[in-house]
């Protein structure tokens, strides 16, 4: 598959907002498959890369998830405390280093073995963020503190340890509606026979 950068020319970029996340307005000339060039306008959020991880205890057949407040869900009129896999921005760290840090901060679990699974854009129509997806086996001996997030970042994270089948059912019931969590749980369902390896 060839990348087609020659079909796109950035004409202008203007920063619309530069707060928690930078928002830019772009004008670009895009040449379609028929050879016609069109002037397009797009707004793009410059979110930094992130990482997420599924923690699985094969002895108890449980996953370690977290629950925290999410403003977009609140504003959409949905339940605002979402059940998710541990995750966070890379903050210029290597993805594996970042997810080890985030897992410790959020859940209190020290990770021994970390397996990279895949990388994905979560909303490529408007957001530059891409997420590195990981898996790690854990057991109770790996939990060395209570987790809950960083106090200086005002994180208020509840740690949940759920049977894997219950987590699967929570996708169907709508109790788990976070995309990255659904993706990792579906990966677990496909690979269930190999999770303890």
pLDDT tens-digit map of 30-73: 999 999 999 999 999 999 999 999 999 999 999 999 999 999 99
Q: How far apart are CA 186 and CA 190, in angstroms?
A: 6
Specify the pTM.
0.89
Q: How far apart are CA 175 and CA 160, in angstroms?
A: 13
Query: What would the two tokens of residue 155 be?
Result: 């994180």
Predicted confidence (pLDDT) at residue 127 exceeds the cutoff of 60: yes
CA neighbor of 161 nearest in space, from 54, 81, 78, 51: 54
pLDDT tens-digit map of 142-192: 888 877 665 566 568 899 999 999 999 999 999 999 999 999 999 999 999
CA neighbor of 38 nearest in space, from 49, 46, 30, 50: 30
φ and ψ at 18, to 5 degrees? -140, 65
Residue position matching structure tokens 């990966």:
187
Within 101-189, strands assigned E span: 115-121, 130-137, 158-163
Q: What is the pLDDT of residue 141?
A: 87
Q: What is the CA radius of gyration of the chain?
A: 19
> Is 78 in a helix, a strand, or coil?
coil
25-29, 74-78, 154-158, range with the lowest pLDDT: 154-158
Mean pLDDT of all residues in 83-112: 94
Residue 78 CB neighbour total at 10 angstroms: 12
Q: Are the C-beta atoms of 143 and 107 separated by less than 8 Å?
A: yes
Query: How many angstroms from the chain centroid is the CA of residue 148?
Result: 18
Which residue segments constitute the domains of the chain, with CATH numbers given? 5-45 (no CATH), 50-194 (3.90.79.10)
> Is 52 in a helix, a strand, or coil?
strand
Q: What is the pLDDT of residue 1?
A: 45
């Amino acid at each position: 598959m060839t990348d087609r950068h020659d079909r796109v020319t950035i004409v202008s970029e203007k920063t619309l907002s530069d707060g928690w996340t930078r928002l830019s307005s772009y004008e670009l000339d895009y040449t379609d498959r028929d050879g016609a060039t069109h002037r397009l306008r797009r707004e793009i959020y410059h979110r930094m890369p992130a990482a997420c991880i599924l923690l699985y205890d094969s002895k108890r057949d449980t996953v370690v998830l977290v629950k925290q407040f999410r403003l977009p869900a609140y504003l959409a009129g949905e339940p605002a405390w979402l059940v998710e896999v541990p995750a966070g921005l890379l903050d210029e760290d290597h993805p594996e280093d970042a997810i080890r840090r985030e897992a410790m901060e959020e859940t209190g679990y020290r990770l021994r073995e970390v397996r990279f699974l895949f990388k994905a854009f979560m909303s490529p129509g408007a957001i530059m963020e891409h997420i590195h997806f990981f898996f790690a086996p854990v057991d109770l001996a790996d939990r060395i503190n209570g987790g809950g997030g960083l106090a200086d970042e005002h994180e208020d994270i509840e740690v949940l340890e759920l049977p894997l089948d219950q987590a699967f059912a929570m996708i169907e019931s709508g109790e788990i509606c976070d995309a990255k969590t659904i993706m990792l749980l579906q990966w677990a369902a496909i690979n269930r026979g190999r999770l303890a390896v």
